[in-house]
Amino acid sequence: MSSAPLPQTSATVPPLPHARELDLEGLEEALRRGPARRPRELALSLAAALYRHGALTRDEVAAKTPLGRERLAAVESAVRLGPLLELERRVPSQADGGARLVFSVSRLGGKEAVEAVAIARRDDLTLCLSSQAGCALGCVFCATGLLGFRANLTAGEIVEQHAWAVRTAGHRVTDVVFMGMGEPLLNYDAVIAAAYRLTRAEGPQISCRKIVISTVGIAPRIRQYAREGHPFQLFFSITSAIPEKRARLMPIEARYPLPELREAIDEFVRSRRRNRYATLQYVTIPGENMGPEDVAALGEFTRGLKCIVNVIPYNAVIDRFRPPTWREVSDFTRSLRAIQVPVKVRYSSGKSVAAGCGQLAADLIAAGAPSGHMTAPPGIFSDLHG
């Protein structure tokens, strides 16, 4: 009696890594496994095309590198080329030159939107990057939080936002802030990898001093960051130093309460070799966190801490809150003199096209761009009531 033949199975071949998901060392390692000659030289050329020149397609890689047909074929036998994101639209602000970039993520079937903001200031271009599609933390004043969490972005997807921003703005990015969609420290490895890639000599060469990572206060990751000694600045979202108020506005307070956050911030400040100041971000919302009790609580939180309070006037997202007038912001910042810490007011570029702080993804929640926010930074116009 003969036995039936076993079914034929084919070995699963792992997909090639995408070139944009690899740094210089990763590109060299991938090319060494293929037929490419002089892999180090080839990796340098490929990294420069991807990260310095922003090449997105196979043809652009070929145009930005001295690769002949044979060497390009060797590259394609080791890594995949092509964009990771698709630019759905660019929404410019005529008011201040900011622009919101809306992408779909190819890896997610194009079903998830990710947004970045390009902020032009004379010869400088600041890029506000997203680290996640959506956000799980549910801060009630933030449009992205209303979406809920969708997915972490890869390092390559984060860095590719830079390539698109340079392409659409027409000049070099000088500053990067991880303040877009998502909580960066909940996508820690990808964010740190992307930040370093933006500083590399074969890449955009952005100074590490010009890269800021913003967090709502993921205390264990703040401590990890401090231990590892990364050179980028961390900003900390406080918004209220009264635990009950903060828990209502920022649910993360229940997980990592203010005393634990303060200890983590202290550890971060002690770890710094230079610029040993913490920047505390405070979204001002009338009737919520701008009273004398809020000032007193913030003074207690900052006691003994070298810090700067970065006041961010709430930008319209939902009808639940009203944006402050400039008079209210001015009165609040004046009251902060009592706690004797430096205070700055951040002007959010692109508010009229839902590109301001807290507004990313607002047009996915409600039709039309939000309105009612302040339209001018303090000191630019004399009317403090608009």
Mean pLDDT, the chain, whole residue set: 87
Q: Confidence band (pLDDT; 50, 70, 90) for 4?
A: low
Q: What is the pLDDT of residues 21-75, one digit of tens each?
A: 999 999 999 999 877 788 899 999 999 999 999 999 999 998 888 777 778 888 9
Q: For the chain, what percentages of helix, strand and coil (3-state, to nearest 5) are there?
A: 40, 20, 45
Q: Confidence band (pLDDT; 50, 70, 90) for 145?
A: confident
Choosing from 128, 139, 142, 357, the catalytic residue is 357
Which string of b and e fits 173-206 if b means at least 16 CB within 10 Å?
bebbbbbbbbbbbbbbebbbbbbbbbbbebbbeb
What pLDDT score was predicted for residue 376? Answer: 45
What pLDDT score was predicted for residue 120? Answer: 84
Q: Confidence band (pLDDT; 50, 70, 90) for 384?
A: very low
What pLDDT score was predicted for residue 275? Answer: 76
Q: What is the pLDDT of residues 331-368, one digit of tens each?
A: 999 999 999 999 999 876 656 565 567 777 767 665 44
Mean pLDDT of 228-256: 97
What pLDDT score was predicted for residue 70? Answer: 78
Judge whether 323 and 311 are in contact, CB under 8 Å. Answer: no
What pLDDT score was predicted for residue 382? Answer: 31
Please determine, for residue 94, whether its predicted confidence score (pLDDT) is greater than 60.
yes
Q: What is the pLDDT of residues 172-212, one digit of tens each?
A: 999 999 999 999 999 999 999 999 999 999 999 999 999 99
Mean pLDDT of 120-144: 90
Mean pLDDT of 290-310: 97
Residue 128 falls in the annotated catalytic set: no
Residue 115 falls in the annotated catalytic set: yes
Find the radius of gyration of the CA atoms of the chain: 23
Choosing from 21, 28, 60, 115, the catalytic residue is 115
Judge whether 272 and 228 are in contact, CB under 8 Å. Answer: no
First-last CA distance in the chain = 92
Q: Name the pairing type of β-strands 113-121 and 124-128.
A: antiparallel
Mean pLDDT of 266-284: 92
What pLDDT score was predicted for residue 360? Answer: 74
Judge whether 347 and 377 are in contact, CB under 8 Å. Answer: yes
CATH top-level class of 85-365 = alpha beta
Which string of b and e fits 327-350 if b means at least 16 CB within 10 Å?
ebbeebbebbeebebebebbbbbb
For tokens 């990808």, what's the residue? 190
Please determine, for residue 385, whether its predicted confidence score (pLDDT) is greater than 50.
no
